[in-house]
Structure 1
Amino acid sequence: MSGKPHLGPAGRPLTVADVLALPVVADGDPRVVTGLEHVDRPVRWVHITELTDPASFLKGGELVLTTGMPLPDDAGGVHRYVDELAAVGAAALVIELVRRYHRPPDALVDACRARGLPLVTLAKDVNFLEVTQVVHTLILGNQTDAMHRTQRVHEAFTALTLRGAGPGDVLRAAAEMSGHTVVLENLVHRALICEPSGSTAETVLADWERRSRSTPAADRAGIRGPEGWLVAPVEFQGEVWGRLAMLHGPPGRFGPFRAAAPPPFGPEDVTVLERTAMALTIARLTRPTPWERAAHRDTLRDLAEQRHHSPADAHARIAALGLPTEQTRFVAVLADVPAEADTARTEARISEELDASGTQALVGLLAPARIGVLLALRPSRPCRQAVEHVSRTALDSAPGATVCAGSPTEDLADVARSFREAARVAEATGPGQPLPPDRSFHLRSDVGLPRLLYALRDDTRVQEYAERQLGRLLDHDARHGTDLLATLRGYLDAAGNKTAAARATGVSRETVYQRLRTVERLLGRDLESGEQRTELHVALQALDALRGR
């Protein structure tokens, strides 16, 4: 007889409640008289006895079946009988109320209640031999199934390790295999990765730091804390840097004899968590990016692309990473780095500078050459000052970087809009775009017509418009070596003042008049018309955008 729990239905230990629900037992009309809260105890074996001292033949975890014939007549003897069963760790005592008793003796009920031993009565005759056959077949069969499941767990994690799976993939596999929520946290109780199972991130991560700190650390996998988490340390280069926590899913239906609490974690859950910790250690050795930064990247992308299940989930994930979510202004900042090789260094530098200044933020790569920053600022902290700090840091680390910011928002649900706004500003900001005199970053208010057209330069409608308006003039200049386009530009820049245009281009007024008449003839336009001059001016701005000017 094995000393370890045998896996029952769904890969967990076979419990007293499971046995009572079997048809061969259920036909006896079982009733739990005492210890209802303990019917989730694992059953390792079934023992039929009519002895007055059955405990001497038990090793713990047995479901004891009796007709009640050997029970002492005196209350003291009954108490000793129950004390011995409880001391050896019997799972439950089942007494048939058919032969000697038709109701359980008061002394037996009192003794079982005092020792927390489940006492189950059977109102009808039950074939005890058939019970042992059915239960032992389940136990032995599930023992073999458990071995196969454990082997599959090892194979699955080995495959994940060999293909270089990241921490998110590893935790996702753990949650799927166990059917439980799995969370990876660091030493300061920041939840870096959460894979909910049957729950939402909001439910799992609510008040995470306090709940986590109330769950003691363990040097190996074990059940800890008031919520009964299964936790295991995660090491890196011989030092513990975080831990895994496996949480029960939301309460479900536990059957007529099941306690309200969820069933305990089984050996297979321990195996899954231990293999998860091992896979994470190997992954950290082979992946240079610190996982705290990886967690920031993933969360940033989810926020920017609105991939969270709900605003509440987003709040929970942000809070679990240590950022404030209430009475906070959020600002999205994008830093486009000229050389992709400089992004990792710049990302680390921005993160370090913000930490040093006490600024709460998420920092991470959103694209190969784009760094995203989500500033979480208290109302008293000026947004512009914080964005300027990010911008100066990025420019110091990667000269030539372009930094753009979205509008502040007090609602986390609007963070994606702030990121979209910053991205549109970045699209409208060409290389070397002059900065405003009072800041080192770009805002939406900086985007005028030239930058709007620059952002739309890949749109075929813009290209077609510029060609339709100016194509014949450009063709003429190319064939004849003239520069009528410059004359038109000078004239339009001078707001139709031919004298100012002649002075700006360095030619006589008569020459300007002659060239402008040629322009009108080639384009079929009337340059005295304000509307047509506007159309041509927009076309020139579009042409500059297409040429990258």
Structure 2
Amino acid sequence: MASDSDTRSPVRQPPDPVLSVRQVLGLERVLAGDPEVVAGAGQLDRPVRWVHVAEAADVGVMLSGGEMVLTTGVLLAGDEAKQAEYIQSLHRAEAAAVVLGLGRAFPTPPEVMRRAAERCGLPMVVLHRPFPFAELTEEVQCRLVRRKFAAVSLSETVRTALTALITAGAPLGRLLDEIAQHSGCPVVVTNLAHRVLATAGERPAVDDVLRDWERIARQAGGGPGDGWIHAELGGRGERWGRLVLCGYRGDPATGGLLADRAAEALVLHRMLGGGSAPTWEEQSAQSLLTDLASGVVPARQLLPRARAAGLPVNRRIFVPLVVPGADPAGLGRVLRLLGLPGLVAELADGVVAVLLSLARDQQAETLTAHFAARLRGETGPAPTVAAAGPRTSWDDVPAGLREARHVADAVADSAAARDLPAVVRLRDVHLRGLVRLLRDDPHVQSFAERELDGLLREPEPELLNVLRTYLATGRNKSRTALLHHVSRPALYRRLEAIQTRLGVDLDDFEQAASVHIALLAHDAQQG
């Protein structure tokens, strides 16, 4: 097994949890000192890492950054040069703020220090009432320690929960749901090209994030404004993705810890998946195409996901295809060789769907035929490519996927499948295709049951098979007898039994056609 250094993503070490200057000034104990911000009011969201009480004029050399310095200014009174230098030294040391207690040294806010702090952008606060600095340091230090403990506790809770899910073999989506629950914001996983591989969180919030993903994902820091926290995904010196907490509302350092624990778990999940499991890219395409084909989620709501996954969707022609029994990886390879944008995924029962996205000026039928021809050359045995008509509207894609699936189903049990073209469309499967499209209609189901009742009430598979062959061969008795390895007299007896049970005359074209349609509907309903 790989070492810890191999399995963990190369992420930064987050700083300790902090309070902002604004939060410190809002504490009840501080409010008792009647604080007034006299400079740097625009910088009150600066993080306070520590509180330091110091009267030394050269306090800056003792700081490491992020401190709120408390002073009475007793060593600065009467020397304006020292006052200005004092503020400059705090600025150079990257102090968070300076708090001056008014009293004997400074009965009013010193103008020199105020102007210097305003120029530097350093928050300067004066306390108009006497205030014991020890109380403030105690209060802030206790809060910082509690925040640190809470952050570490959350980090370990998340690590334990995610490890349990990985051990149980949970899919990627389940891990992301757990992360989203702890973070309280949308979670997005992307590859290095910023294409979205997976998401989690409340659907409306996720859709808002994805709606303009191409722009915001490339901004510095991983997203616009505060609360966008990212962690790199990778291992063994290679980086291959990114996890983003989108709009995290908690403490940034805690969010950093949470993102890091999540990244570690995702890297481990990917490594344990091995080469046999679908890649995250394949899982993303599968989720999107499955949702499109099912129609459970409106197509318009899936548009941000498709765009974020890298599928061109603006002013495009969409061609839904179904290739039963094909290898998704092989289909994806053919798409890349031909330079055709699209998504490939195995939906269910070995059925592989392909959604091509073509420019409006491209010939959809020509490129689909080219794809089918190249596919036959790549895979050996000629696969059936069932195609729906091109769709110019994204809202029509779900119906197109269902149409392609119907065509594939109709071809699967067609006696004339070998005579069909390389790309099969609804017009090529004729009556069988129509019946497949209508198989779930209650009227069609009732019709099939009524017409075949005599054979279905006391089922004899052999009679149904004979009827199926007889009608499929155009009522050719010689061919039917040959295919069932029986003599013509034996076939005549079976046909007579069929006609008696159904109460029809199979020599009558209309009655035979009615039985044929009913049998096609029955077979379609039975799958």
Cα distance in 1 for partners of 2:521, 2:27 equals 77
Q: Kindly tell me: are residues 442 and 73 of structure 1, through their superposed partners in 2, closer, same or farther at Cα, counting changes over 3 Å?
A: same
- How does 1:113-512 map onto structure 2 within 5 Å? 113-195=118-200, 200-206=205-211, 208-209=213-214, 211-215=216-220, 230-235=229-234, 238-249=237-248, 265-266=252-253, 268-287=254-273, 288=275, 289-306=278-295, 311=300, 314-337=302-325, 343=326, 346-393=327-374, 395=376, 397=379, 399=381, 401-435=383-417, 439-453=421-435, 461-468=446-453
Cα distance in 2 for partners of 1:438, 1:32 equals 82
Cα distance in 1 for partners of 2:432, 2:503 equals 25
Q: Kindly tell me: are residues 527 and 334 of structure 1, through their superposed partners in 2, closer, same or farther at Cα, counting changes over 3 Å?
A: closer
Shift of 1:296: 1.9
| Structure 1 residue matching 2:412: 3-state secondary structure | coil
RMSD of Structure 2 on Structure 1 (CA): 4.3
Query: Is residue 541 of structure 1 aligned with residue 517 of structure 2?
Result: yes
The match for 1:508 is none
Shift of 1:323: 2.2
Shift of 1:38: 2.7
**8 Å Cα contact 1:297-1:363 kept in structure 2:** yes
* Equivalent AA in structure 2 for residue 335 of structure 1: V
Q: Kindly tell me: are residues 189 and 417 of structure 1, through their superposed partners in 2, closer, same or farther at Cα, counting changes over 3 Å?
A: same
Cα distance in 2 for partners of 1:450, 1:5 equals 67
Cα distance in 1 for partners of 2:435, 2:182 equals 52
Shift of 1:115: 2.1
Q: Kindly tell me: are residues 361 and 547 of structure 1, through their superposed partners in 2, closer, same or farther at Cα, counting changes over 3 Å?
A: closer
Q: Kindly tell me: are residues 91 and 375 of structure 1, through their superposed partners in 2, closer, same or farther at Cα, counting changes over 3 Å?
A: same
Q: Kindly tell me: are residues 5 and 232 of structure 1, through their superposed partners in 2, closer, same or farther at Cα, counting changes over 3 Å?
A: closer
Deviates more, 1:361-370 or 1:147-156: 147-156
Q: What 5-or-longer segments of structure 1 have no aligned partner?
A: 8-12, 216-222, 253-262, 338-342, 495-499, 506-514
**8 Å Cα contact 1:473-1:519 kept in structure 2:** no
Cα distance in 2 for partners of 1:306, 1:520 equals 42
Cα distance in 1 for partners of 2:132, 2:202 equals 40
* Equivalent AA in structure 2 for residue 388 of structure 1: A
| Structure 2 residue matching 1:138: 3-state secondary structure | helix
| Structure 2 residue matching 1:399: 3-state secondary structure | coil
In percent, how many aligned pairs have the same letter?
32
| Structure 2 residue matching 1:410: 3-state secondary structure | coil
CA deviation digits over 1:83-111, x for unaligned, max 9? 22223332211234566556522211111
Deviates more, 1:374-383 or 1:387-396: 387-396
Larger radius of gyration, structure 1 or 2?
Answer: 1
Deviates more, 1:450-459 or 1:402-411: 450-459
Cα distance in 1 for partners of 2:454, 2:434 equals 18
Cα distance in 2 for partners of 1:126, 1:501 equals 109
Aligned with 2:51 (options 46, 52, 69): 46
| Structure 2 residue matching 1:271: 3-state secondary structure | helix
The match for 2:113 is 108
**8 Å Cα contact 2:24-2:140 kept in structure 1:** yes
Deviates more, 1:366-375 or 1:282-291: 282-291
Q: What 5-or-longer segments of structure 2 have no aligned partner?
A: 1-12, 482-493
- How does 1:29-108 map onto structure 2 within 5 Å? 29-55=34-60, 58-97=63-102, 101=106, 103-108=108-113
List 4+ stretches of structure 1 deviating above 6 A.
455-459, 469-475, 515-528
CA deviation digits over 1:386-406, x for unaligned, max 9? 332344455552736443222
Q: Kindly tell me: are residues 101 and 434 of structure 1, through their superposed partners in 2, closer, same or farther at Cα, counting changes over 3 Å?
A: farther
Cα distance in 1 for partners of 2:145, 2:33 equals 24
The match for 2:489 is none
- TM-score if structure 1 supplies the norm length? 0.74
Cα distance in 1 for partners of 2:364, 2:14 equals 59
- TM-score if structure 2 supplies the norm length? 0.77
Shift of 1:517: 12
Q: Kindly tell me: are residues 424 and 110 of structure 1, through their superposed partners in 2, closer, same or farther at Cα, counting changes over 3 Å?
A: same
**8 Å Cα contact 1:334-1:372 kept in structure 2:** yes
| Structure 1 residue matching 2:424: 3-state secondary structure | coil
| Structure 2 residue matching 1:416: 3-state secondary structure | helix
* Equivalent AA in structure 1 for residue 241 of structure 2: G
